[in-house]
Amino acid sequence: MKKRKSFFWTRGTIIFSCCLILISFPTFVNSQEAKVRIGAAVSMTGRLAKEGSLVKKGYETWTEWVNGRGGINVGGKLHKVEMIYYDDKADATTSAKLTEKLITEDKVNLILGPYSSGIAAATSAIGEKYGYVTIAPVANGDFVYERGFKYLFSVLSMATQDLVPVAELAVKQIPKPKTFAAVVLDHVFTLPAIDGVKKKSLESGLQEVYYGKFPVNTSDFSGILTTIKGKDPDLLYFGGFFPDAVSFYRQAKELNVNAKLYTTTGTAGHPDWLSVMKKDGEYVLAQVPWHQDMPYKGPFFTSASFNDFWKKKYGEEADYFSACGFVSGILMQLAIEKAGSLDQTKIRDVLRAIDVETFFGKFKFDEKGKNIAHRMGIIQVQSGKQVLIDPPQPGAKILYPAPSWKER
């Protein structure tokens, strides 16, 4: 008995010291080379794993690309970029912890923000306290930017603006639509976008015939669709996560609910939409932060050449999540090079004054950190492709009115 106990204690000591070594491990790797350390806590697991991992792919590709060019020029000296990733599990507590870890333990120079607005609301408060510049690639919930933060910058325009171009497009069509129905997931992601387009539609003289919120995890939309069918709206606005949009439009087909124009928040522009929905995904509109057919030119890429670069590397078209990740890197690079230092306040001031066009679009921030120069593109799924219809493209035309489900 005695012997066994001592055995346990020695083993315990060994395990404990191993733990200590493990913890202190990051402090051992201090290399001599000049580096810019950038930290990112993104969702690799959890509900937003797919989107999060695409954004991460954008970061990774940018890091590789910029290091391939020698690195970032800080005050005349090239610095290689070192990225540190953590998985925030789509959980705010974890994300807050990791953000603090990035700042105080890993001593990163800059922070790239998390994927979703809810999490960004928690982590941006920490970045702010430490006076760390945070660039948020995809988190564009308006409320995040209404708290008077000075170090937070959004790559995208605000969520309430997301679908506004759809309403603008719709009222220009002939025959002119008169009514709309809006169905929205009760979530921080989708509410602002649908509320924004709803407001714009009402202002444009359209009449609301149905507005319904549905809870997370709804799989059966037949109740809503039955009600909508009775109202026969011209426009259908749908806000929801990817699986929600799929079941919603599938069931719309099943119950033969027709409209002249179908809209989703983002999901029809999602890379998985075409493979899952196939023919049933046609004619649906969605906003995309970026598209390869956009006309933007930048210092390193144009919209089209970025897509070529991506295709050459991965053999697939660039998706907008990755583009958001990539452009966050470029934005950071531009700011650092212009500031000529890694000082947070200097970088912040540069960002605040920046007025630049990149392959992704324009950047100009207001005092709240919102990107006021960015405008969402609108795509429509046409013959198995996500075709950019706004900003207007030569040769691309909105298909309106969409044929009824039975006629397809």
Nearer to another protein, 8 or 314 (CB): 8
The residue written with tokens 């920046």 in the block is: 354
Q: How many residues bind another protein (CB under 8 A)?
A: 80
Q: Is 114 in the site for another protein (CB under 8 A)?
A: no
* Contact (Cβ atoms closer than 8 angstroms) between residue 83 and residue 105: no
* Region of 79-87, 200-208, 321-329, 337-345 interacting with another protein (CB under 8 A): 79-87
User: What is residue 343's three-state secondary structure?
Assistant: coil
* Region of 70-78, 246-254, 295-303, 313-321 interacting with another protein (CB under 8 A): 246-254
The residue written with tokens 């583009």 in the block is: 323
What are the two backbone dihedrals, phi and then psi, of residue 379, each rounded to the nearest 5 degrees?
Answer: -115, 160
Nearest distance from C-beta of residue 196 to another protein, angstroms: 13
Q: Is 315 in the site for another protein (CB under 8 A)?
A: no
> Of residues 17, 27, 93, 207, which one binds another protein by CB under 8 A?
93
Q: x/- string (CB under 8 A) for another protein, residues 253-272? A: xxxx---------------x
Nearer to another protein, 85 or 309 (CB): 85
Q: Residue 205 gets which letter from DSSP?
A: T
Q: DSSP labels for 51-73?
A: HHHHHHHHHHHHHHHHHHTT-EE
Nearest distance from C-beta of residue 322 to another protein, angstroms: 14
Q: Residue 46: left if φ>0, alpha if ψ -120 to 50, beta else—which one? A: left
Helices then strands (H, E): number in the chain? 12, 15
Residue 101 burial by CB count (10 A; 0-12/13-18/19+): exposed, middle or buried? Answer: middle
Nearest distance from C-beta of residue 340 to another protein, angstroms: 26
Query: Site residues for another protein, window 149-188 (CB under 8 A)?
Result: 185-188
Work out whether the CA dihedral 328, 334, 340, 345 comes out positive or negative.
Answer: negative
Query: Site residues for another protein, window 322-351 (CB under 8 A)?
Result: none
Query: Site residues for another protein, window 13-52 (CB under 8 A)?
Result: 19, 22-23, 44-47, 49-50
Nearer to another protein, 22 or 174 (CB): 22
Burial call 379-401: b when 16+ CB within 10 Å, e when fewer: bbbbeeebbbbbbeeeeeebbbb
Helices marked H in 69-190: 92-104, 117-130, 164-171
Nearer to another protein, 162 or 293 (CB): 162
Q: Is 92 in the site for another protein (CB under 8 A)?
A: yes
On the CB side of 365, CA atoms within 13 Å amount to: 24
* Region of 71-79, 196-204, 241-249, 309-317 interacting with another protein (CB under 8 A): 241-249
* Region of 67-75, 80-88, 301-309, 362-370 interacting with another protein (CB under 8 A): 80-88
Nearest distance from C-beta of residue 34 to another protein, angstroms: 23
